[in-house]
């Protein structure tokens, strides 16, 4: 019987490692998040710390562990927000280029819009 209990405890511990993000805690009230880590003074090694006990500095309530699902949902939400923001900024840049085109005497019509389109198509190749 005790062997079964021990094997079940081991299985629970194994499954908890798969469910929760190591060392990540959050407040259920205000979404404050905390990554708990321990740094070894001797070796300099950093390891996650999964022991409960920290409290939210904003709400003074116990923090909850964060599941992999919650973490990935949060990442997906932030990616979606970044895509919307990038799209908005691209539209703004194109409008600015069109206005500059209207206000500056250019030798080549459409040059500013072309520059903006090249910058948008190659965001990492443009030098500031
Ligand atoms: Zn809080």
Give yes or no for residue 21 having a pLDDT over 70. yes
Give yes or no for residue 127 having a pLDDT over 60. no
Q: Are residues 6 and 40 in the same domain?
A: yes
pLDDT band, residue 95 (cuts 50/70/90): confident
Query: Is residue 128 a part of any domain in this protein?
Result: no
Q: Are residues 48 and 14 in the same domain?
A: yes
For the stretch 42-52, pLDDT in tens is 999 999 888 88
Residues with CB under 5 A from ligand 1 (ion): 27, 29-30, 32, 56, 58-59
For the purposes of burial, counting CB atoms within 10 Å of the CB of 66, is it exposed (0-12), middle (13-18) or buried (19 or more)? buried
Average pLDDT of the residues in 114-119: 78
Q: Are residues 65 and 91 in the same domain?
A: no
Residues 53, 40: Cα–Cα separation, whole Å = 20
Q: Are residues 6 and 66 in the same domain?
A: yes
Ligand 1 centroid distance, CA of 114 (Å): 48
Q: Are residues 61 and 79 in the same domain?
A: no
pLDDT band, residue 82 (cuts 50/70/90): very high
Ligand 1 centroid distance, CA of 64 (Å): 10
pTM greater than 0.85 (yes/no): no
Q: Are residues 85 and 65 in the same domain?
A: no
Q: Are residues 11 and 53 in the same domain?
A: yes
């Amino acid at each position: 019987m005790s062997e079964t209990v021990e094997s079940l405890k081991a299985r629970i511990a194994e499954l908890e490692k798969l469910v929760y993000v190591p060392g990540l805690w959050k407040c259920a009230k205000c979404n404050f998040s905390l990554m708990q880590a321990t740094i070894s003074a001797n070796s300099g090694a950093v390891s996650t710390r999964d022991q409960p006990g920290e409290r939210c500095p904003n709400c003074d309530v116990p923090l909850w562990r964060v599941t992999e699902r919650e973490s990935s949902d949060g990442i997906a939400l932030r990616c979606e927000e970044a895509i919307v923001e990038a799209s908005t900024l691209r539209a703004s840049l194109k409008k600015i280029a069109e206005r500059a085109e209207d206000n500056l005497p250019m030798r080549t019509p459409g040059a500013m819009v072309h520059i903006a389109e090249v910058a948008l198509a190659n965001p990492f190749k443009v030098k500031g």
